[in-house]
Every structure is written in C-alpha cells, then in structure tokens.
Structure 1
C-alpha cells in the first residue's frame, strides 16, 4: 500500500500518483507498504522495503514538480528511471509542452522537460513534434466550439470497458433519443461547430429509425459542414443502410475499432464478432470514401508481441487513414480489473511506433490514463493531412466543447482568463431520462459564458 502523509492534500495526491506510476502493484498491496512522511519543515522521509530515505532539500509546498523530482532521484539513484515521462502523471503531457513552448524557445523547452521533469530525450522530441502538428491543425479551425453526442448502447460490454454503456433495448433507445434530441434542440445560442463527434458506446448500435432521426435533427439544429465523426466501433453494428445514412447526413469520418485482429482474443474480451467481420465492415465503409480510424489495444489478455505485430500488420494492410494505438488501462469498473490479466507493453509499443513510421503514419495526438500497463500512453497516428481535429481539441483543451447525452461533459472556455467552466450531465440512463430538463437548464446557464 502507498501511504503519503502531509498537511497538504494536493501534495499528498501528487506524490501518491507518482509512486503509483512506478510501483503499480503497491497501490492496494498490504504486505509491501511504501510510506512517505512530510513534516512542517518539508523534510521528506521515505520508507520502502525497509530502505529509509530522508530528503532535507529546501522545498516550497507549492513546488510539487521539484519535490517529485527529488523523490524519484532518491529512489533511482543507482539505476535508470524506466519511465519516459519522469515526474509527469497527468493525462495531457502535450498541454504542458504547449505552455512551455509559448514561453520559451524549443531548445530551452527541451532543457526544462529533461532537467526539471526528468522526461527522456526521445519522449521530449516526440511530444514537441506532436504539439507542432496540432498547432498547425488548430490554426485552421473555423470556430471555437465543438459538439459531442453520447450514445450509451453496445451489443455487448468488453472486459476492459468502464464507460457508461448499456446493452441494446429498442424501448430504451426510443426514449433516450427523444431526450437527447430535446436536450440539444434546446440550446439557446447559435452554434457553428469546428467539429462534431458522435461517440459511445457504439452509436451505430442504434436502429435505422433512431439513427436517422438523430442525424436529421443534428443537421436541423447545427451547421454540420465541418469535420463530422461517428464511432461505428463494433463491426457487427455496421450495415450498408447505416453507412448510407451517415453519408447522406454529411458524416465524413468513422471509426471501426477491432482492438485486436486475433479471433481468440476477441472472444476473451467479450466481442461478438470475428476478424473476418472487421474486414467486411471496413470494405463496406471504404466504398463510401469515409476517412477511417481503426483502434488497437496493446496489452490485452494473453497477447504477446507477435500477436500485436500481427494485428497491426493486418490493420495496415487495409490502409485506414488513422490508426489509434492504446496501452491497456486497467479501469476500476471493468471486468479485466478484477481478473488482473494483461501483457507487458513496453517493448511492444516501441516496435509499434517503428512499424507505423515505416508505413507512413506519424503521431498527431497523445494522452495517458491512470493505471496504464507499464505507465504507457495512447497515440493517434495519421497519414499526412488526415488528422482528426476533434481528438486533438478534446485532449489539448483549446476550445469549448458542448456535450449532450448521458454522462456527457460540457466545458466552456473563458478566453479572458483561459479557464474552463464545466458541467457534467447525469451519469446513468434512468436519471438522465427523468431529469433531462435540469441538464438543459444548467447547460444554457453555462453557455452564458460564451
């Protein structure tokens, strides 16, 4: 167990998150405790595996980065720090890099990231490259707001999933789409979005009737002549009729997310389709000239490096414009969290990056999550000119996002102080359906910030 004791809760959390990155098995273990005690004079005492360390540097209570740096250096004084991210534990490392680049030269930024944050040189170069790509994307935005619509239905629940999702039910779908349309139709302000994203769950799990009326009402309410993405996700929800609907209403990007191209693994994670189904769904979408993203997860149960490379090879053969590669995150609410079965990702992810580069894909956005295997990362790769604007916007927090539907988040950016005001819709389906009027009222109050 990891126990951090000081009078500053923010500092306690920062140190706890750091130690969890480097000692993930100790987060809940009771037989190998790590104790950190920080007194009023900021003398830090660490006790790990009967090894006692005392840090008596001159710290400021607000300088969490410096405190974390010295803790890491003391723990790894004689061995290499095996984490490219050094003291960073947040989900948006590129956001820090963007901020530093606004204030410093590229060279000075590199020095700060390596010396103060202990980030590896290779990772620093990668992060800076991604920020430069994103800055080019952001310079072409047509507005300062994007739209997100959440569809919480799936054919089955995957073992790694902890999102708000429900198995399909026509009656539930009818009522939910009624309320979703009511919610976004009640937005007071005129909105011209820079991007639209319909996610889930699996939006194409909606039947044709509900899918069409959702798409039709979005087009009636908003100017949808922009980057417009729908997560088709599961190939077992894709049909000619649904793809034709998407095309008719202006959708120009879709995701088909196999996660693996191994039939045995698909069964283990709770998928109800085969690799052959993935390929057939892809071919249907390709005929309609959608820009296509495909997802792969590194670290799934019982998959080794050969399995991962085989999956990536099969996906690359299809030539989607985007490929997003995720390190498996062991999420609290997932079945996989209880089973505790996963494969180490460190070496595999390095090979994935080499393969992507060799095949003309380059990284354009990146984020991290808690409890990622081997302190990993999620990286979106793209062919030149096919980057997904919404993916970068939501990670970098460079503009407002209006979220509609159960558990959807809205974040309105005040450009005077560059801070967000946030509103989170009700998290479960029953409450959302019963109290959608409250979400509508609170969202319009939030929109006054615009």
Structure 2
C-alpha cells in the first residue's frame, strides 16, 4: 500500500470516528417535549425547509451539517422531524413549498416518504424539492416518490473521471459514464431533474469544464445548475 493510500485511509478513519463521536454527543434525538413558541406573521408566505443530516460517506469539499448514517438513530430523527411539523402546524404556520436538504435526503426512503406525506397532509404544500447523490436515483428508488417529489437535485459535480477521483467521488458513486447512464434512466421519474455541477474544482481545466457542460446538455435534464467550489 502506497504512502498516499495510507494517509487517505487514516484520514477517512479519523473523519468517521470524529463524526461518530459528534453523532452521539451532539445530535439531540429526544422527542420534542416543548411547545413551539414562534407565531406566523400576517400576510407572509413561508417555505418549509427540512434537513436530513446523514451520509454514508463524506465528500472532502462539503461543509454542510451532517453525521455518519445509522439506521435506528435516523429513524428517531425523522420521528422528531414529523413531531416538529405537527407543532409548527399547531402554532398556526402554513407553507406553500417544502425543500428537503442534507446530508443525503433519500438515505432512508421509507422515513422520508412518511415525512413528505405528513407535510402535504398538514400544510398547503404545492411543490416539494429534494437533493440526492447518484447512488439514490434508480427508477425503483424514485418510484415511491411519484406524486411527492416535484424537483430532484442530483449532485453530480463533474463528468471527468480524474476530477471525480481527486475529490473522492469516483469510488463512492462510480465513473462519469456510470453516472450518465443512471441520470438517463432517471429522466421522467420525477417531473424536474436538476443536474448539479461544481466548477473551480482542484486542477480543473477550461476544457474539462466545457466537457462537463456538453455532457450535461446531452442528457437533457430539465435544469442544470453550476456552483463554484468555495473554501470553508
């Protein structure tokens, strides 16, 4: 095993252990026992945001709030999330749209499905947006969200294999060619598929960026979004 691989494995193990410690010390999974105290303003339209702070693996450029996934803890977290929705409803809030971010939002499909259905039952939600990575976009996985998720944002980041390897996504999510095939199979399963790409990646060339644009356009998703990589 080369020195680079040893360092990489050490870094991954360190990150995993640190996140596990943070998970048990910092994630409050007690069912909410206090009433929601905020009240809605008159003549104000609100959008509801729900956060799913779990991932199987961590991307080195991501600074979003997250923990390593454990099924039982995630189930309790989703139960808390639904209880908080009920309390917000009782406080008089209503919402026209819901955005689910993460983390990996589709990491526990049954719990997410129950949460989205409850949100639509409680509130006047007309559209729901969610995020995903390439590992959770199979037609079978998305079929259960028919009529629930209106827009799915898929974090592809790049269609260049060398770039994917540099940012730690090649082994996690597969090659650019595999991701392209997955995306093509996904079209039509959700009303709007948004393909997300990052520019300003390490050592990324102009030619690689243009190739990313061309490959993304060839898939013909309903939306393509570019984000700059920013240090955090």
- Post-superposition shift, 1:172? 1.9
The separation in 1 between residues aligned to 2:182 and 2:78, in whole angstroms, is: 25
The separation in 2 between residues aligned to 1:245 and 1:222, in whole angstroms, is: 21
Equivalent residues of 1:153, 1:167 under 8 A apart: yes
Equivalent residues of 1:149, 1:197 under 8 A apart: yes
Equivalent residues of 1:236, 1:277 under 8 A apart: no
- Post-superposition shift, 1:209? 2.3
- Post-superposition shift, 1:286? 0.9
- Give secondary structure in 2 for the equivalent of 1:315: helix
> 1:309-355: per-residue Cα shift (whole Å, max 9, x none)?
11111001111222211121011xxxxxxxxxxxxxxxxxxxxxxxx
The separation in 1 between residues aligned to 2:140 and 2:74, in whole angstroms, is: 18
The separation in 1 between residues aligned to 2:185 and 2:106, in whole angstroms, is: 14
- Post-superposition shift, 1:143? 6.6
The separation in 2 between residues aligned to 1:276 and 1:194, in whole angstroms, is: 37
The separation in 2 between residues aligned to 1:242 and 1:288, in whole angstroms, is: 10
TM normalised by structure 1 equals 0.39
Answering whether residue 208 of structure 2 is matched by residue 307 of structure 1, we say yes
- Post-superposition shift, 1:277? 3.4
> 1:29-83: per-residue Cα shift (whole Å, max 9, x none)?
xxxxxxxxxxxxxxxxxxxxxxxxxxxxxxxxxxxxxxxxxxxxxxxxxxxxxxx
Unaligned 5+ residue runs, structure 1?
Answer: 1-141, 332-450
The separation in 2 between residues aligned to 1:244 and 1:192, in whole angstroms, is: 27
> 1:390-430: per-residue Cα shift (whole Å, max 9, x none)?
xxxxxxxxxxxxxxxxxxxxxxxxxxxxxxxxxxxxxxxxx
Computing the radius of gyration over CA atoms, which structure comes out larger, 1 or 2? 1
Q: Which residue of 1 aligns with 2:149?
A: 251
2:106 to 204, 222, 245: 204
The separation in 2 between residues aligned to 1:285 and 1:143, in whole angstroms, is: 36
Equivalent residues of 1:147, 1:197 under 8 A apart: yes
Q: Which residue of 1 aligns with 2:8?
A: none
The separation in 2 between residues aligned to 1:194 and 1:178, in whole angstroms, is: 22
Q: Which residue of 1 aligns with 2:49?
A: 148
1:262 to 160, 168, 171: 160
2:122 to 198, 214, 221: 221
Aligned length: 186
User: Taking CA–CA contacts closer than 8 Å with sequence separation of 6 or more, which of the two structures ends up with the larger relative contact order?
Assistant: 2
